[in-house]
Amino acid sequence: MSLKVLVVDDSAVMRSMLIRTLRLSGLPLTNVYQAGNGAEALATLSAHEVDLALVDINMPIMNGEQLIEQVRANPRLAGVTLVVVSTEGSETRIEALRARGVSFVHKPFTPEQVRATVLKVLGVADA
Amino acid sequence: MPDLMESLATPLAAAAAETLEQLAYLFAEPAAADGVATEDVDGIVALAFHGPAHGALILQLSGGILPALASNMLGLDGAPSLPDQRDALGEVANVICGNVLPRIAGATAVFALGVPTPYPSWPVATEALGGVAAEVHLDVEGGRADIALVVHPAA
């Protein structure tokens, strides 16, 4: 398994932290792309093949929920696995995301939590 | 009013200490001195929230811990750039706010969080955002974190 990952967050510090956490988690990354909002993420997804997108919810221009809608509505992006990484604490909203086939990682996160969630959503057994 | 202050301050202190520890590897404990720090302030940021209640969370770091907080978040040895330090401060406020709201409003309450906004001083922030409902002060590895929660009933 090798992963091409897109990290979408309006905070550059959080993007860097998440990428470092992905590397510390031991997940096999081949390409890592970054976007500061949903619109930038869509542009990246149209230009590059991506397996996994880690998406914040609260972002300017196009938020994470709007991005998820756009990805889900585009058959060409059906292969992109979506994981929301957010401070969101409302079970109501988290369940709504899960109902749309999106997994969830809560901030603050550990490498182990990120690894477990990504492997589970990809249907890969942890070695 | 003291009961409300206490019922909000306890989860606020817990959410702040957990966030500082898990996000930035900085350990916090209740401050030895009362009141908000007025000297050697590193930065102040506020984050508005809207939902069953609306208000804001205000975070002030002082005593030189902001560069350490940002470098820990980024995994750097030296001090990050000032924009990265401001970004880190806002992200910590965002995570504290996202973690404290379910503790005080319940796990099913849905809130929308705003964008972290810098303020020049604590009095300017509290005056602009309204009355403070709870305030906690933490000693953080040689520095200090002052955190306030402004809460207004839903309109």
Q: Note down the domain range covering B16.
A: 2-153
User: Using the 8-state DSSP alphabet, how is residue B119 labeled?
Assistant: -
On chain A, the residues whose CB falls within 8 A of the CB of B107 are 89-91
Instruction: Kindly state whether residue A116 falls inside one of the protein's structural domains.
Output: yes
Give the gap in angstroms from C-alpha B83 to the nearest C-alpha of chain A.
10
Cis, peptide link before residue A108, omega less than 30° from 0: yes
CATH for A25: 3.40.50.2300
Instruction: Kindly state whether residue A118 falls inside one of the protein's structural domains.
Output: yes
Beta bridge partners of B135: B148
Listing DSSP states for B78-104 in one string gives SPPPHHHHHHHHHHHHHHHHHHHHHHH
Instruction: Kindly state whether residue A34 falls inside one of the protein's structural domains.
Output: yes
Averages of pLDDT over each 10 residues, chain A, 127 residues: 94 96 93 97 97 94 94 94 91 88 92 94 82
Q: Which of A94, A45, A67 is nearest to B110 (CA)?
A: A94
What does the pLDDT read at residue B92?
A: 97
Q: Which of B58, B54, B65, B69 is nearest to B19 (CA)?
A: B69
**Total domain count for chain A?**
1
pLDDT tens-digit map of B115-148: 999 999 999 999 999 888 899 999 999 999 999 9
**Total domain count for chain B?**
1
Residue type, A75: P
CATH for B135: 3.40.1550.10
Cα–Cα distance for residue pair A104/A121, rounded to 1 Å: 10
Interface touch B22/A108, C-beta < 8 Å: yes
- Average pLDDT value for residue range B1-8: 65
Instruction: Kindly state whether residue A30 falls inside one of the protein's structural domains.
Output: yes
What does the pLDDT read at residue B155?
A: 58
Q: Note down the domain range covering A63.
A: 3-122
| Distances from the Cα of A20 to the Cα of A5, A80, A102, B75, B147, angstroms | 13, 21, 22, 8, 28
What does the pLDDT read at residue B1?
A: 43
pLDDT tens-digit map of B99-117: 999 999 998 999 999 999 9
On chain B, the residues whose CB falls within 8 A of the CB of A16 are 73-75
On chain A, the residues whose CB falls within 8 A of the CB of B90 are 11
What does the pLDDT read at residue B69?
A: 97
Q: Which residue has the higher pLDDT, B155 or B149?
A: B149
pLDDT tens-digit map of A16-28: 999 999 999 999 9
Calculate ∠ Cα B16-B20-B24, nearest 5°.
160
pLDDT tens-digit map of B56-109: 999 999 999 999 999 999 999 989 999 999 999 999 999 999 999 999 999 899
Give the gap in angstroms from C-alpha A108 to the nearest C-alpha of chain B.
6
Instruction: Kindly state whether residue A56 falls inside one of the protein's structural domains.
Output: yes
